[in-house]
Amino acid sequence: METALSDPSALSEAKNALLARMEAATSEPAEIYEYALAKKLFSSAPWRLDAVGSEKTLREASGASLKALASRWLVPNNAALLMA
């Protein structure tokens, strides 16, 4: 992760891989159906949001913006410990 944040070519490669995965998912009819169904069923729940974000958000992501996001949200008091 740190490499992708500090190396622009590694970040670009990671973004392209995620964009390709997003494109592949949107070309499958079953995936499109499940996505639409989840949006409808959970329209007010937090998990209605895409974990990766939109294509626009992903394209605009930079090392600095990802570091800012991590320092704001990836902190110990914003975590859950699950044991099974």
- Whether 81 maps to a domain, the answer reads no
- Whether 51 maps to a domain, the answer reads yes
- Whether 82 maps to a domain, the answer reads no
- Whether 21 maps to a domain, the answer reads yes
Q: How many domains does the chain have?
A: 1
Cα separation, 55 vs 49, in Å, equals: 13
Cα separation, 49 vs 43, in Å, equals: 9
Cα separation, 40 vs 75, in Å, equals: 31
- Reported as a single tens digit per residue, the pLDDT across 53-69 is 788 999 999 999 989 98
- Whether 84 maps to a domain, the answer reads no
- Reported as a single tens digit per residue, the pLDDT across 69-82 is 888 888 888 777 78
- Whether 83 maps to a domain, the answer reads no
- Reported as a single tens digit per residue, the pLDDT across 35-46 is 889 888 888 887
Q: Which domain holds residue 20?
A: 2-76
